[in-house]
A = this chain, B = another copy of it.
């Protein structure tokens, strides 16, 4: 079905716009909805989801896609932020999601666009040096943007390099903020190919291995030891405060992938056994403004494991279900909070 389009908008000119825009026309709700849905479908509009870092490229992306698109405004931090319900209610059949790989099977048609970033050739000589200084193998981990590079490294150095497929992350060697299983290799040392300290700190704490963070673009190398220590200090401070808290909000994530019902139930039970005041909370968004209004002493986050990284923005302690176990003597050693299976 082809309707006449204006040059830019793609809105069929036959769509009934009431002459007075301030007041509703005489259209029934159901008819309006069906017409809206029809309109969007006809123009094959697509929902485009961009993480924070890519939003400034809306102009380039509009040109790249060359189609009728509508950008998602809501936050996108990972592929747990697939807004299928928004696509549904707009009657859109396809989502284009940038920068992350899937870790559950969506209900809708979703095109995951992950650009493989270009890198400096010097990366290989740096890795070669690292390999030489090791008697055994070296583990390589990465994020979605350097999966091709990691594969290239494996091809070049063959048996001297370990590349493992994780549980949730789908690429070889790929780690997520909530899944470091690809880092649980035999090697003593890990090289993280990518930008930032978010993933390598997680890998360091999750595996106990030495981690070198290597930026493939700038070839900057960072030993994450100090940053991991700082992270742990912050975490133990929150655990300490949790131990002295009386009232707890246990927060269940309501984004698919962040819905951790078993940890939620475990946390509620543990706190009840400890005689604490427990309040159940369910939330898509977990922000200081919203959460701290509850006025409770401490919050247990049964959602994205990495929300606790935002601790400095919150006045009250946030802890993971694993940290809750530590706080109340059910667990001895610090463990990174990870998602082992997508419950919803």
State the Cβ distance, A251 to closest chain B Cβ, in Å: 6
The size of the chain A interface, using a CB distance under 8 A, is 75
- Interface residues in A27-50 (C-beta closer than 8 Å to B): 29, 32-33, 36, 47
A134 at the interface (CB under 8 A from B): no
A24 at the interface (CB under 8 A from B): yes
CB of A21 within 8 A of CB of B266, answer yes
CB of B293 within 8 A of CB of A71, answer no
A343 at the interface (CB under 8 A from B): yes
Q: Which B residues touch A279, using CB under 8 A?
A: 58-59, 62, 71
Q: Determine the residue in chain B with the shortest Cβ distance to A35.
A: B261
* Residue of B265, B285, B294 touching A15 (CB-CB under 8 A): B265
A196 at the interface (CB under 8 A from B): no
Q: Which B residues touch A23, using CB under 8 A?
A: 340
Q: Determine the residue in chain B with the shortest Cβ distance to A24.
A: B341
CB of A56 within 8 A of CB of B262, answer no
Stretch at the interface among A4-12, A154-162, A218-226: A4-12
CB of A55 within 8 A of CB of B293, answer yes
Stretch at the interface among A83-91, A122-130, A139-147, A171-179: A83-91
State the Cβ distance, A339 to closest chain B Cβ, in Å: 9
**CB within 8 Å of B: which residues of A?**
6-9, 11, 15, 17-18, 21-24, 29, 32-33, 36, 47, 52, 55-56, 58-59, 62, 69-75, 85-86, 89-90, 247, 249, 251-252, 254, 259, 261-263, 265-266, 268-269, 272, 277-286, 289-291, 293-296, 321-322, 325, 335, 338, 340-344
